[in-house]
């Protein structure tokens, strides 16, 4: 039986809810983020290299309620996207 999607090993716990990262031939890189009431929003994701850390890659996405976010797999924490949250002068 063919699996519908291959789940990557990245899952971030956010309070009482979670995000899951799925990879499928038709979905590229997709993140499911909790919307509430057991519903999820599907958003696309990208990867960034963490500065000053060798081989450190974080996954990032655009959260419709919280803005651009990234997940640090080493520290298991979510933080604002560094490039997209900078204010232009």
> Over the stretch 35-44, which tens digit does the pLDDT of each residue have?
778 888 888 8
Q: Is residue 83 part of a domain?
A: no
pTM of the model: 0.57
The verdict on residue 84 lying in a domain is: no
Closest-CA residue to 21 (of 82, 70, 83, 88): 70
Under 8 Å between Cβ of 30 and 24: yes
- Exposure b/e, 48-77, CB count within 10 A at least 16 = b: eeeeeeeeeebbbbbbeeeeebbbbeeeee
Q: How many domains does the chain have?
A: 1
Within-domain flag for 88: no
pLDDT tens digits, 57-77: 888 888 888 888 888 888 888
Tokens matching residue 58? 């974080």
86 falls within a domain: no
């Amino acid at each position: 039986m063919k699996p519908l999607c291959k789940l990557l090993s990245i899952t971030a716990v956010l309070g009482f809810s979670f995000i899951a990262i799925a990879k499928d031939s038709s979905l590229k890189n997709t993140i499911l983020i909790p919307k509430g009431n057991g519903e999820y929003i599907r958003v696309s994701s990208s990867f960034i290299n963490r500065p000053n850390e060798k081989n450190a890659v974080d996954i990032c996405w655009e959260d419709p309620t919280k803005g651009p976010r990234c997940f640090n797999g080493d520290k298991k924490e979510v933080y604002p996207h560094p490039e997209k949250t900078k204010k232009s002068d």
